[in-house]
Amino acid sequence: MSPDRLIRDARRDAGLTQAQLAARLGTTQSAIARLEATGANPRVNTLMRALEACDREILLEARPRRSSIDETLVAGRLRLTPEQRIKSFEHAYAETRQIALAGRRSRGELV
């Protein structure tokens, strides 16, 4: 969830107006409005203080990231011998060239 939404939701759940939250934090209502504006990117300390003023706490958690690639394909390639990897690459290269030539023919680039 974005910081602006965290602050806005916490404030509303606490039954506070922007002016009331501002008073708790010793700032202005317009400063709270900026924190709640879409795309606001407050410092972690500011976010923590705003949430604490709404009787909330922030919990940070570190999780392993999901890979953006299919790691089973990588693992499969690593099980091949270097010779098998080279042959596989050469085969894929030849097929790619055939597709490229077919594209050039269809666009009339080759006579």
**Interacting residues of 81 by C-beta distance below 8 A, sequence separation 6+:** none
Per-residue model confidence (pLDDT) at position 3: 95
Q: For residue 47, what are its two tokens?
A: 């976010």
- 37-86 pLDDT, tens digit per residue, is 999 999 999 999 999 999 999 988 898 888 888 989 999 999 999 999 99
Alpha carbon 97 to chain centroid, angstroms: 35
**pLDDT tens sequence across 91-105:** 999 999 999 999 999
pTM above 0.85, yes or no: no
Q: Fold for domain 3-53? A: 434 Repressor (Amino-terminal Domain) (1.10.260)
Name the phi and psi angles at 68, rounded to 5: -90, 0
Distance CA 84, CA 44 (A): 51
Percent of the residues in the chain that have a pLDDT greater than 90, as a whole number: 86
